[in-house]
Chain A
Amino acid sequence: MSKKAFIGFCFAPLGVLVLAFFMLPVARLVVMGASGDLGWRAYAAILLDARYRTTLINTVSLAAATTAATLVIATVSGLFLQRYRFPGRPFLVAMLTFPLAFPGVVVGFMIILLAGRQGLIGDLTLRLFGSKEVLAYSLQGLFLGYLYFSIPRVILTIMAAVEKLDPSLEDAARALGAGPWRVVRDVILPALTPALIASGAIAFATAMGAFGTAFTLATDIDVLPMQIYTEFTLSANIAMAAALSVGLGLVTWAILALARSYGGASVAAAG
């Protein structure tokens, strides 16, 4: 067998799998999206139809809020954990990265235990203020869930990026009289920007497309993945479900592609 033939042989199993079970189905999904009463205009309806547009705006706002909050939290903690050495630090890092392998459904359950009807927050607020605070089954609950999901991932990325920073730049800034806040703003944050973009994009795409957490918390939260699910199962509006899926896929793919062209890091979303 020639070298060229062997390379082709090496590609064969993967090629067959990807062609049959990914490219063909996705092509079918795109065509299916145009098979309803609206035809290809179904894709425009995602933006033009008030119902879908509201959901889209909800989803994007939630994802943006999650991303912003995650980046702030993870930057503060990531910088801290990488800069200081103190007893118990490895344990703290382990605690912060432990939820990394939790799927979205489990994260949803964590939020129920924290902020659900019999949750910790409800218990505490009942004792302190006499009224039970229940956040879990709403957009706030979903926000907490995505935060829970994203913080460990982003902290790891930030810690890795902080490790690569050149401390002499900060020393130079300090020697020139910059206070700690200015060092952070003018030296550390600019150097962390690629990592922030890369991990922010993952957090954003995850919050856009994650289904498990929303599914566990409630079926009537108005976000895109839940809408796709209800269009498909309850309304049996398969064409619209397909069109929305394609739209959602395009948005998450575009965000990650954009981030990759800036950051160059290997980015992936899942949830």
Chain B
Amino acid sequence: MTTMRDRLIFAAQLAFTLLVAAFLIVPAVLSMTAGVTVNYFRGIESGVTLQWVIEVWQLYSDTIFRSFLIAIATLGVTLIAGVPAAYALHLRNDRLSRTIEEIITLPLAIPGLAIALALLLTYGGFGDFRRSWLFILVGHVIFTLPFMVRSVLAVFGASDIKTLDEGAASLGALPWRRFRDVIVPNARPGILAGSLMVVTLSLGEFNLTWMLHTPLTKTLPVGLADSYASMRLEVASAYTLVFFVMIVPLLVAMQIFAERGGGPLGLRR
């Protein structure tokens, strides 16, 4: 009797979970097939084609390159600003450092739209800066910095970095050398996890970017929104397909990393 009931419970839960998975996956599959279908309304029988992908490349390849440029630059800046700061935060570990951590984490809690508006109101008047991709870079850095800092901090917290640092100091190593030769190598898992996160988030960032972009500084997600509003479904789908192809390897890398215990931050965004 109990086993019968157990089996029923299992089947009901499985059916429910399959339904949830279908809700998530079916539209993604529809989008991927639509991107390579000659005519979406007539279905896949109308033939398979790469013409939409080629059209996307002709129309939007600049947004793809710009998104990569911004993502790499964001990574560079968050590494330079984030890794030393995480080290300093870990060493100090007092009220001031906790306040600083609190402040740099704020951009996670505040909607991107508000941050973008704040940036526009403050720096919108600086024409050259406002018109360049650097304006978007600034937004992405503020938004992704907490992920880098926390990811590195998590590794420091799990390893005995203070003892290592003091050991190196007692051997006469100067602060800069200790940072380069002891701290950074030990923080590597956190730096790697943080980097994957930063690049993934930057490539997909829309809320800030939509407000900060100009017609000449469109990024991939901005172009996507553009194509959803004004292009035929096949082109929009092909563009989305290009985005999937870019983002999925990063996601897989993050997942593998999280499974190997790459920091508590993991994918919890």
- Listed in ascending order, the chain A residues whose CB lies under 8 Å from chain B are 1, 3, 6-11, 13-15, 17-18, 21-26, 28-29, 32, 73, 76-77, 79-81, 84, 86, 92, 95-106, 108-114, 118, 120, 147-148, 151-153, 156-157, 180, 202, 205, 208-212, 215-216, 225, 228-229, 232, 238, 241-242, 245-246, 248-249, 252-253, 256-257, 265-271
Contacts and interface: CB of A to CB of B under 8 A. Distances in A.
Interface in B241-259: 243, 247-248, 250-251, 255
Interface class of chain A by DSSP? helix
Contacts of B109: 205, 249, 252-253, 256-257, 268-269
A104 B113 CA distance: 13
B59 interface: no
Contacts of B210: 211-212, 215
Interface in B194-242: 200-201, 204-207, 210, 221, 224-225, 228-229, 233, 236-237, 240
A249 B31 contact: no
15 contacts: A21-B142, A22-B103, A25-B121, A80-B13, A95-B25, A96-B17, A105-B228, A106-B221, A106-B224, A205-B109, A212-B207, A242-B121, A245-B118, A252-B110, A268-B109
B27 A110 contact: yes
Nearest to B144: A270
B194 to A, nearest CB: 13
A92 B81 contact: no
A201 to B, nearest CB: 10
Nearest to B107: A22
Contact of B114 (A99, A114, A120, A245): A245
Nearest to B82: A14
B80 interface: yes
B117 interface: yes
B16 A114 contact: no
A260 to B, nearest CB: 10
A77 B221 CA distance: 30
B17 A77 contact: yes
Interface string B170-192: 00001110010000000000000
Contact of B146 (A7, A252, A268): A268
B10 interface: yes
B123 interface: yes
A241 B142 contact: no
A211 B115 CA distance: 12
Given A10-B87, A120-B26, 12 more contacts: A17-B145, A18-B103, A29-B121, A96-B17, A106-B224, A120-B27, A215-B225, A245-B118, A249-B109, A252-B109, A266-B150, A269-B111
